[in-house]
Amino acid sequence: MRRPIALLVVVALFVNGAANGAGAANNPMARLVKVTSASQPVDIASRPRDNGLYIAEQDGVVVRYDPTTKSKSTALDLTSFTGASGERGLLGLVFHPDGRFLYVNYTDAAGDTVVARYRMTTANAADPATRVELFSLDQPYSNHNGGGLAFGPGNRLYIGTGDGGSRDDPQRLALDRTSMLGKIVSVDPLARNKRSAGPRIWSIGLRNPWRFEFDDEMNLWVADVGQDKWEEVSVAWATSGSGRNANFGWSAYEGFARFNKDQTAKNHLPPVHVYEHGDEGCSISGGTRVRSSKLPALVGWYVFGDYCTGHITAIKVSGKKTTSVTRLVENAGSVTAVRTVASGDVYVLELGGTVSLLAPQS
> For the domain bounded by 39-283, which CATH number is listed?
2.120.10.30
**pLDDT tens for residues 206-218?**
999 999 999 999 9
How much is the pLDDT for 19? 40
How much is the pLDDT for 21? 44
Q: Are 59 and 39 in contact, with CB atoms under 8 Å apart?
A: yes
What average pLDDT score do residues 20-38 get?
79
Return contacts of 34-39, CB within 8 angstroms, 24+ apart.
34/354, 34/355, 34/356, 35/65, 35/67, 35/347, 35/355, 35/356, 35/357, 36/65, 36/67, 36/70, 36/72, 36/355, 37/353, 37/354, 37/355, 38/63, 38/65, 38/349, 38/353, 38/355, 39/353
**pLDDT tens for residues 226-257?**
999 999 999 999 999 999 999 999 999 999 99
